[in-house]
Chains A and B, each alone.
Chain A
Amino acid sequence: MSSHSAEPAVTTGWTGRLRELWLRKLPPEKMLPDTQPAYVASWIYVFGVLTLSALLIVLISGGMLALKGPSWWHFSATGHFVNSLHLWSVELFMFFMVIHLWGKFFMAAWRGRRAMTWITGAVAFLGSVGTAFTGYLVQQNFDSQWISTQAKDGLNASGIGAFFNVLDFGQMLMWHIVLLPLIVGVLTIWHILLVRSRGVTPPIPLRERRPEPVHAGAAKATDARNDPNGSAEALS
């Protein structure tokens, strides 16, 4: 029979410290907020969650294809439909992600210690391009034959082809369904946690011109007061 103490638990051990760190960086009100800044009022904000939704459908439809194996969709009407779901969700995923990316660029969304949020998103985009590319290579049809025989030249010329052989169906399938989704998945989770932790980027201050700096230190202090989230520095 266990006993419970009314006193607050003392944080000990790796587990306790990890919990403390997690709650400090990502308290429940940040992870699952029920309020947000009033300036978050544009359709551009929708494209982040649309990208995430499309990614989940990509993973679900890809998982269904994986259940029956890579050749299934060539011989089954159901399989072909699932392949269509996979294709169109990828097209939507990339479409939403590109709009999300351009939106964040024009919002200078890296301001206020959010550079890592931009970096994880940018690398996730490049990883997604690689994942989609390997998907085209493992279609087992004319398209994959042509794409692989053309793509080999660039990869070989850069030395990558020595260990990443686009003519090897088995190797490309593993990259497509295991390694690259893992990388994109980890980056996506990291990206989302950073967004939740740092909050939504505030608007760029409306200033016709920057204040004339008296000296470097004074200019920095002035900018910081005008721009509480560090936006002026990240744009200069």
Chain B
Amino acid sequence: MTSISQAEQRSAPPQPTRHYDIVREFVIAFLAVAVLTVGLSVLFSSPDEKPVTVASWAKADPNDFVATAASELAGASDSAGYGPPYNSTTGASQQLGPLKLEQWMGVTHPVNSAQDFVLTPLGSIPNDAALTTALAAYHGASATQQQTWATNYSNALAKAPNGDPAAVKAGDYGPVPVLTGRLLNLAKSGGLDGALQAQNGFYSTDYTKSLLFLSDGSYLGNLADAQHLSGDQWGMMNETGNFPGQAWLWLYTFWYQIKPFSTSSNGDALVWGVMALLSLLFILVPFLPGIRSIPRLVPVYRLIWRQYYRAERVAARRE
């Protein structure tokens, strides 16, 4: 884009003007928007779906809770194998072409799923001889043995009717059923909510561990699915209930609905790469040949300035 000189601007013919009161315009606009906002608030209010707690999850869907706890011990949950920024699982990072941004940034919020979500909270339960014995057996075993027990139990839960721990067939599970059973009791009592959060200190406002544990289970996702909030339901731009959500995220959400983004193991990185590029192009529209010509090709401007063009035509006829 080039700009014209000041001399050329000074030579421009003066434009006809009309009276205008900028302060009056602003006051009227502000009052109109204020009235509209109050009206919409009175009519529609705002949504406030209660948060899921670990306790409410454990009570509503104990089978899913126990399966999740077993998967944390087996290292098979989403968070256990997530990679950066939570842990350094090999091959878990997404990449954008040659750019391994996730891996390069490293582990900045370390999370050990088995330790943080299961073993540390269980260690805070006093006066439980069976639990103490189970923890001692678990800690005394090799890492391979621990994983074998937990994996066997996870697989057995998956095969049990409704994933019911009471219906699991006998097998080589070591102390894992005792550990997950006690964790379920702790969760139902509300103690696990506090135990997870207390790991960050008394005044913690960081819910990384609590939210990762909740999202490892199916319960949170099932609730979101029922509220049309899942990714394949354009969920990022939706809101609970029938309220408008973040409609302005439509383009970001759109990419997740189509290939290759919807099927690629690097889908998130690809979507963010595309959105970063589009955002840059959006900012630089005035400098992009072709894009900046669209307004002339799509003559919406003739509608916007129709009075001006009409007056111009009348003046031209008079001449």
Q: A159 touching B104 by the CB < 8 A rule?
A: yes
- Residue in chain B with minimal CB distance to A89: B37
Interchain Cβ contacts within 8 Å, total number: 298
Of B140-148, B168-176, B287-295, the one with at least 4 CB within 8 A of chain A? B287-295
- The majority secondary structure among interface residues of chain A is helix
Cβ contact of B25, chosen from A49, A129, A155, A235, cutoff 8 A: A49
Cβ contact of A34, chosen from B13, B21, B82, B268, cutoff 8 A: B21
B154–chain A nearest beta-carbon distance, Å? 22
Given A42-B304, A53-B30, A202-B15, do A141 and B295 touch, yes or no (CB 8 Å)?
A: no
Chain A residues near B3: list those with CB within 8 A: 112-113, 230, 233
A85 to B33, CA, bound (A): 11
Q: B248 touching A94 by the CB < 8 A rule?
A: yes
Q: B293 touching A235 by the CB < 8 A rule?
A: yes
Cβ contact of A110, chosen from B266, B286, B305, cutoff 8 A: B286
Given A145-B211, A220-B2, do A36 and B104 touch, yes or no (CB 8 Å)?
A: no
Cβ contact of A142, chosen from B51, B84, B282, cutoff 8 A: B51
A228 to B105, CA, bound (A): 51
Segment 107-165 of A: residues with Cβ below 8 Å from B: 107-108, 110, 112-115, 118-119, 122-123, 126, 129, 132-133, 136, 139-151, 153-159, 161-163, 165
A106 to B296, CA, bound (A): 8
Chain B residues near A132: list those with CB within 8 A: 246, 248
Q: B18 touching A203 by the CB < 8 A rule?
A: no
B284–chain A nearest beta-carbon distance, Å? 8
Q: B249 touching A88 by the CB < 8 A rule?
A: no
B26 at interface (Cβ–Cβ under 8 A)? yes
Chain B residues near A14: list those with CB within 8 A: none
B165–chain A nearest beta-carbon distance, Å? 25
Given A36-B20, A204-B295, A224-B4, do A53 and B208 touch, yes or no (CB 8 Å)?
A: no
A178 at interface (Cβ–Cβ under 8 A)? no
Cβ contact of A42, chosen from B9, B284, B305, cutoff 8 A: B305
Q: B8 touching A53 by the CB < 8 A rule?
A: no
B94–chain A nearest beta-carbon distance, Å? 4
Give B240-279 as 1s and 0s: 1 = Cβ < 8 Å from A's Cβ atoms. 1001111111000000000000000010110111001001
Cβ contact of B266, chosen from A35, A157, A230, cutoff 8 A: A157
A99–chain B nearest beta-carbon distance, Å? 12
Q: B22 touching A32 by the CB < 8 A rule?
A: yes
Given A41-B308, A89-B33, A167-B211, do A36 and B18 touch, yes or no (CB 8 Å)?
A: yes
B285 at interface (Cβ–Cβ under 8 A)? yes
A15 at interface (Cβ–Cβ under 8 A)? no
Give A82-114 as 1s and 0s: 1 = Cβ < 8 Å from B's Cβ atoms. 011111110110101010000101111010111
Chain B residues near A42: list those with CB within 8 A: 304-305, 307
Chain A residues near B40: list those with CB within 8 A: 84, 88, 91-92
A147 to B215, CA, bound (A): 11
Q: A235 touching B102 by the CB < 8 A rule?
A: no
Of B59-67, B123-131, B229-237, the one with at least 4 CB within 8 A of chain A? B229-237
- Residue in chain A with minimal CB distance to B108: A162
Chain A residues near B295: list those with CB within 8 A: 105-108, 204, 235
Q: B19 touching A140 by the CB < 8 A rule?
A: no
Chain B residues near A156: list those with CB within 8 A: 82, 84-85, 94, 102, 268
Q: A136 touching B246 by the CB < 8 A rule?
A: yes
- Residue in chain B with minimal CB distance to A220: B2
- Residue in chain A with minimal CB distance to B12: A228
A103 to B303, CA, bound (A): 11
Q: A37 touching B248 by the CB < 8 A rule?
A: no
A170 to B279, CA, bound (A): 28
Given A158-B101, A159-B105, A228-B11, do A115 and B37 touch, yes or no (CB 8 Å)?
A: no
Q: B17 touching A38 by the CB < 8 A rule?
A: yes
Q: B33 touching A57 by the CB < 8 A rule?
A: yes
Segment 59-89 of B: residues with Cβ below 8 Å from A: 82, 84-85
B290–chain A nearest beta-carbon distance, Å? 10
A114 to B292, CA, bound (A): 13
A49–chain B nearest beta-carbon distance, Å? 4
A49 to B48, CA, bound (A): 31
Given contacts A89-B37, A108-B296, 15 further A-B contacts (CB under 8 A): A32-B22, A38-B311, A52-B29, A146-B220, A146-B224, A149-B212, A161-B85, A161-B102, A167-B206, A168-B206, A169-B206, A171-B205, A203-B309, A220-B2, A235-B292
A-B contact list, 7 entries, CB within 8 Å: A40-B20, A83-B46, A141-B47, A141-B50, A142-B52, A224-B4, A233-B2
Closest 3 A/B residue pairs (Cβ): A228-B12, A170-B205, A159-B101
Query: Residues on A close to B: CB < 8 A?
Result: 32-42, 44, 46, 49-50, 52-54, 56-57, 61, 73-74, 80-81, 83-89, 91-92, 94, 96, 98, 103, 105-108, 110, 112-115, 118-119, 122-123, 126, 129, 132-133, 136, 139-151, 153-159, 161-163, 165, 167-171, 173, 202-204, 206, 220, 224-225, 228-230, 233-236
